[in-house]
A and B are shown apart, each in its own frame.
Chain A
């Protein structure tokens, strides 16, 4: 739990996402390492599920490339073990893969969390798991020292917000706008309002959905975010390199450059609006 908290302690955190194994296992290892070199503070690693309902076209395609290349939960854990990065890793996936892990007789969802924690995963984001159904996973996370991150939409309110607050740890994923993942040209004006609603929460607020440039990362941080989450803009770089047939080293370099731009943008945003110290 401490690793993720620590990652948010020194100024705004840059939290990139990539689908593990996209477009293939070996290239993906290089890409994740490139994000770490580019300044990632936490990395969200997608464990591909066949029904990615929270994702827009970019990440859907990434998930399919990874699945087609043979990604499975066990290969994902091997992937995490093989990664040589000094950054906390969060597993982003859908609940059925967590629920089914270990087969019919496994203790669910504990078996998955135990294996993930052993591989080096520090936390989980599960977009299709509502807080109402999250207690078994929350308990397993507590047992193995992992965080459970929840996504808060601009429309989340009332009791639902309270239920999430009671169960979230690591950071809260603040959805910048309604809908599914995907890079957008502008950052939603809803972000500031969303952050205000969570002002009292005792976890860092990381904003995602639609951020694709250093400038936008800066805007989000200036609006009060403790971190920025970027997925589709990075997955686009992977997809374009894959389609053009570029070698993995070249694509990795582009990812590192983009990561640096986003991290620097976030830091610049923090300088524009000095943050009150978090207690």
Chain B
């Protein structure tokens, strides 16, 4: 076929290789093929205005991803063969991995299915393909994380039944409810929640601490996974920003809807990430940076610049941003205190920070740590030294929305517990903050459905009414192995053996750790 036309640019060629394969249907109605596109009220006037955030055809995708996988698995193999788990800073570090595998990896799977769903249901083919690529990437992430941690599971406790625990254990309902919330929303809210709020605005607060934490603590398998996932994440972040700009540019009526979603998902994400704050400040033996510093860099500075950029669309910063900024001085300490008390009901160990660690916390948190938190830890330490390690045997009040126990304090008064409640349909509901209470008010029909672990235990739906039965039978937490104090735990004793030190008994000095 002789032709005098100009060759396509790369951009146009990519259009031909994706959205041009689509067509306007004539045998079935478009609304029947894409039934979920309109019910959130988002108005899309022209899908052709969608800019593909990354122009990868499948042949290139297979090629690049295969190269990355080859390198990644070579390192996993070498790590296992060389007993890489013996080179970490300290066995306490593995508790961060327990949090990651039970709390984060199952979310990657939820993201995979969520993106497969929206990757089918947008009528714009360009957006569909971008979502599908993220979908298969998320499957990659859950699988490579399972493989990266498989070796640790062979040598340490608490990782062994991660998916079972994710569905059941009380504190894991925090991440689980977050993703269930996004997946049960419409397609545009799902993307605002996950692509924008989570992947774009907050992801650095999750991944940088975890992966740098791995690097600082000698965990080659996880740090390599992190590096390898980074180029996928860069694509996902680009998608997150494109999605939000696209919605805002398509129609001005979209702005208030999107603004509400940004407010909601910022607050939900902030509450979810409080788990990361305690990992950074308390669980990493070699510390990367404090939660407060991370929040300042990754949210206040980066997020500040982002929301400045979005101002021209009529978007303002998230509603409860100021409260979150105030919380940076407190949340890690409040959360670790809580987990310290409830260690009998988790799949990881907790401990009192060493003197050196407490001094580091004093430096990082000059206005709050010595004043509000050090005395509490010193008190518990004294008790522990007298053989009376403190465990709290009551069940905590959970927030109806974020599902974190109502453990946080008022934004302006760290001595006052923050608690809100309201009556809906004759029933009283409890919240940890104005942020969560607002979210409930907007969609009460959704949040009254929440599966609240404490209520479920009291109602007898968790195979027992006492903590020990629920923990062992329902959670599959091996009592005495996976849970309780770190000092003297099987992980601790095993680590001592690996390092050639004499095993310690419970209550012994922790210097040898």
A and B bind: no
Which residues of B approach A to under 8 Å, CB–CB? none
